[in-house]
A and B are shown apart, each in its own frame.
Chain A
């Protein structure tokens, strides 16, 4: 009987490709964001709003990740920014290689912000580095205020929390202060924005913050 010492990260290959992506983004001066949330929190709607706000100021590109369909890419394409859809065919998260292959289809020159919209899922995407500068987690008021406590890894790994659908808070069983408190208990360093894609509340503030990262 013999024992072979391995001592390797299981996701080492993903981490290596993520690092290649990170170096590529750095070489073009691109700020890459990994946008994560549960399904239906409004990631794509928030994305549409910030593109609308920012597209005259800087060049933005988008990678869309979904289990099926290119519906989201169609929505983004209407705004006139470069977009590539990744269809995972059942895969519950994006991996660095999928992103690497997707961005090969985008002319990265002059792009300042790359938004990577992950598959809607608060579990698996937390563990996969895509080469992003930061993870942004979107949590909507309609999901309730307990999500940060139920999915701590995601909220701990994120740098920004966007609380979306704040216009609906009075209609649903969600305490906005409690939601923020729960998120900050998991991650005291989270920066929080509150948005509504119906009233446009908070969109300018969140977009300006993104802009400040690249100008």
Chain B
């Protein structure tokens, strides 16, 4: 259940970053396929810990990021779908992961005019 602690981290960062009385409509997240985070579980945990708070109706917008490796041998980039970290182009395993481990808050959408809807 580490999605619960991740949801708490998200909540803390939003609390620190946004000093507003406006309604936080959404939080945009970037989550890589290698981050070991299940989006459904994260949404479930976020809903649970925000219940009765200002963020009760805030939606998580999750962008899933593919695992991409850069080949040190031939220089091409490949999307990894089978978790065998190998260059699609030349087959080399001498590859560096350049994306897929992301677990980031990108932005927060705030409705300034409206207070939290009843």
Q: Interface of A with B (CB < 8 Å)?
A: 1-14, 90-93, 95, 123-124, 126-127, 149, 152-153, 156, 185-188
Contact = CB atoms under 8 A, between A and B. Distances in A.
B12 A7 contact: no
Given A6-B17, A8-B17, A124-B36, A149 B104 contact: no
Contacts of B88: none
Interface in B33-47: 34-37
A12 B102 CA distance: 12
B81 to A, nearest CB: 12
A152 to B, nearest CB: 4
B64 to A, nearest CB: 15
Contact of B107 (A4, A10, A149, A185): A4
B13 interface: yes
Contact of B9 (A5, A13, A149): A13
Contacts of B25: 1
Nearest to B14: A6
B36 A153 contact: yes
B110 A4 contact: yes
A19 B112 CA distance: 37
